[in-house]
């Protein structure tokens, strides 16, 4: 309370104390004698007038307080009356402006309570689903029977009709260019790789930073083969010294691997996929799934509508997807693929900004194919300790059994998790490192899954500007076309 308010209170209190005390005093007491009757009558009249004025004042004051607080309650941006997502969705679009847009959307986040906690959710009329918490780090849930058998079959058939393509091309470029652009000296690269700064490069130090080269997944054995093939480890102690490292050219490893030939099983990801649009005109099953995802996540439907289409993935026997994040870390210089339209300048980093992943199992797999979360609910997260004693927890062909959590693929089941933490103010915060996951190798049969990613820009202003732009453009264009044109479903 401020000084001024305290002072005002003191005045009000003394005023309200003085009136009743005057009333309590008997009128005859102060003016005794023969004039008492006349004087006491006029004194009584004066007192009564004051009394009435006082009462009227109090009533007027009470009425004023009542009406002014009623108005405050009905203000749409009052904190006591936060608008529901539906109300927000119905708000008329405003023209795009450069001024910061007011924050009035607070993203709901489903509470996990504790691992094993089951909550009932109503997603389709006349049916209740059970949603079980699988981990708190990341916040991860499973919902058995999310899709019906028919829905699973139709999604697989639609994907086949459209045609699936290899998820990863055999050779990818890019990392080499980045290294050249940065123009680092061999000494600088060596120092970056040498995590414990002992002047030697252990196998796990090289793998921590260079597991993936040209889309090829390196194992400790691969690396040892490369050492032998290139005669890199001259003293044969299994470590690379700075002198040994200097003799290797930057792309020596890649050239060696490419010359030797690469099998699909050596790639980061060995699967085929396609994209199915879920907007107006799409198969009813695809639209129904989108509506159900909106209900499940409790997010405003615009956010779900403007997200990537459904990705359908097929793993043949022997297929896998090594552990990864569906979306990258977010820095002030990071742009989101889906809001590129609304980005101001060229930004050095770009990521998909997939706030939530909803993963559907379209069939039950005969052997393997679990989704592994290697560090779910770990006490701490440390990138370096992902490889210990040459055991790489991110390698889903070999080490799924050492993952903290594995989800068995069962037809119709959905799992969903948050790839980002909350910023504590109702919006998207930092990347959740514990959301690391991958698809274990399929040992028997084929595995079919679908991904529904919900894209939200951690930069609220950019997300809001993007939505404004889309709502204007979609007056004559379909939202889905816009998403297609902006190629928001680009690979990570
Ligand atoms: C993915 C993914 C896991 C799985 O497609 O991004 O992580 O179990 N899939 O297939
Ligand atoms: Ca070292
Ligand atoms: Fe993934």
* φ, ψ of residue 467 in degrees (nearest 5): -65, -35
Atom of ligand 1 nearest to the CA of 437: 7
pLDDT for 253 equals 81
Closest residue CA from atom 6 of ligand 1: 326
Mean pLDDT (whole number) for 380-396: 93
What are the CB-based long-range contacts (under 8 Å, 24+) for 351-354?
Answer: 351/327, 351/492, 352/308, 352/326, 352/327, 352/328, 352/453, 352/455, 352/490, 352/492, 353/327, 353/428, 353/455, 353/456, 353/457, 353/458, 354/308, 354/326, 354/327, 354/419, 354/453, 354/454, 354/455
Tens of pLDDT, residue by residue over 331-345, are 988 999 999 989 877
Atom of ligand 1 nearest to the CA of 311: 5
Tens of pLDDT, residue by residue over 355-385, are 999 999 999 999 999 999 999 999 999 988 8
> What's the CA gap between 439 and 404, in Å, rounded?
14
pLDDT for 482 equals 46
pLDDT > 90 in the chain, percent: 61
pLDDT for 348 equals 80
Closest residue CA from atom 5 of ligand 1: 451
Ligand 1 centre to CA of 320 (Å) is 9
Helices 149-162 & 284-297 angle (0-180, nearest 10) = 120
Ligand 1 binding pocket, CB closer than 6 Å: 313, 321, 326, 371, 437-439, 449, 451
Mean pLDDT (whole number) for 128-147: 98
Closest residue CA from atom 10 of ligand 1: 439
Ligand 3 centre to CA of 451 (Å) is 8
Ligand 1 centre to CA of 443 (Å) is 16
Mean pLDDT (whole number) for 30-46: 50
pLDDT for 244 equals 94
State which of 371, 372, 400 you would mutate to test the pocket of ligand 1, scoring each by most atoms of that ligand within 8 A of its C-beta: 371
Mean pLDDT of the chain: 81
The most confident of the ranges 17-21, 116-120, 186-190, 253-257 is: 116-120
Beta-carbon contacts of 154 under 8 Å, excluding residues fewer than 6 positions away, are 283, 285
Q: Which ligand is nearest to the CA of 273?
A: 1
pLDDT at 485 over 70: no
> What's the CA gap between 312 and 314, in Å, rounded?
7
The model's pTM is 0.76
pLDDT for 414 equals 98
- For CA atoms 114, 118, 121, 123, the dihedral sign is positive
Q: Higher model confidence: residue 253 or residue 144?
A: 144
pLDDT at 436 over 50: yes
Atom of ligand 1 nearest to the CA of 449: 10
Atom of ligand 1 nearest to the CA of 315: 10
From 411, 440, 416, select the one nearest 356 (Cα to Cα).
416
Question: For tokens 């109503």, what's the residue?
Answer: 122
pLDDT for 413 equals 98
Lowest mean pLDDT among 29-33, 253-257, 277-281, 294-298: 29-33
Ligand 1 centre to CA of 146 (Å) is 17
pLDDT at 16 over 70: no
CA of residue 34 relative to chain centroid, distance:
90
Gyration radius (Cα) of the chain, Å? 33
Closest residue CA from atom 3 of ligand 1: 439
Closest residue CA from atom 9 of ligand 1: 439
């Amino acid at each position: 309370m401020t000084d001024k308010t305290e002072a005002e209170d003191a005045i009000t209190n003394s005023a309200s104390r003085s009136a009743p005390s005057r009333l309590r005093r008997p009128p005859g007491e102060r003016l005794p004698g023969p004039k008492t009757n006349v004087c006491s009558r006029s004194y009584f009249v004066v007192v009564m007038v004051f009394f009435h004025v006082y009462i009227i004042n109090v009533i007027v004051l009470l009425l004023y307080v009542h009406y002014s607080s009623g108005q405050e309650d009905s203000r749409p941006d009052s904190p006591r009356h936060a608008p529901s997502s539906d109300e927000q969705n119905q708000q008329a679009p405003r023209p795009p402006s450069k001024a910061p847009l007011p924050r009035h959307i607070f993203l709901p986040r489903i509470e996990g309570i504790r691992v094993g906690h089951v909550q009932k959710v109503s997603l389709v009329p006349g049916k209740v689903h059970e949603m079980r918490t699988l981990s708190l780090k990341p916040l991860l849930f499973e919902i058995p029977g999310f899709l019906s058998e028919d829905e699973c079959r139709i999604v697989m058939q639609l994907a086949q009709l459209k045609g699936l393509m290899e998820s990863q091309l055999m050779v990818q470029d890019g990392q080499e260019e980045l290294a050249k652009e940065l123009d680092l000296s061999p000494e600088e690269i060596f120092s970056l790789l040498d995590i414990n700064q002992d002047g030697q490069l252990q196998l796990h130090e090289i793998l921590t930073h260079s597991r993936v080269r040209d889309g090829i997944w390196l194992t400790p054995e691969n690396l040892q083969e490369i050492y032998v093939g290139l005669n890199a480890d001259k003293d044969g102690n299994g470590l690379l010294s700075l002198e040994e490292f200097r003799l290797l050219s930057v792309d020596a490893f890649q050239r060696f691997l490419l010359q030797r030939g690469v099998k699909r099983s050596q790639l980061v990801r060995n699967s085929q996929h396609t994209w199915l649009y879920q907007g107006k005109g799409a198969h009813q099953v695809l639209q129904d799934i989108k509506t159900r995802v909106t209900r499940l996540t409790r997010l405003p439907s615009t956010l779900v509508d403007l997200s990537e289409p459904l990705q359908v993935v097929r793993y043949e026997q022997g297929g896998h997807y090594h552990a990864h994040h569906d979306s990258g870390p977010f820095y002030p210089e990071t742009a989101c693929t889906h809001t590129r339209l609304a980005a101001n300048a060229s930004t050095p980093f770009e990521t998909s900004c997939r706030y939530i992943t909803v993963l559907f199992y379209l069939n039950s797999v005969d052997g393997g194919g679990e989704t592994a979360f290697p560090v779910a609910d770990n006490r701490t997260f440390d990138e370096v300790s992902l490889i210990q004693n040459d055991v790489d927890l991110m390698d889903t062909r070999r080490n799924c059994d050492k993952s903290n959590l594995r989800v068995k693929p069962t037809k119709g089941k959905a799992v969903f998790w948050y790839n980002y933490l909350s910023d504590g103010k109702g919006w998207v915060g930092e990347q959740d490192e514990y959301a690391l996951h991958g698809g274990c190798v399929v040992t028997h049969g084929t595995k079919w899954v679908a991904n529904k990613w919900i894209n939200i820009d951690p930069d609220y202003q950019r997300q809001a500007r993007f939505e404004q732009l889309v709502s204007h453009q979609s007056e004559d264009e379909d939202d889905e076309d816009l998403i297609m044109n902006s190629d928001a479903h680009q690979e990570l």
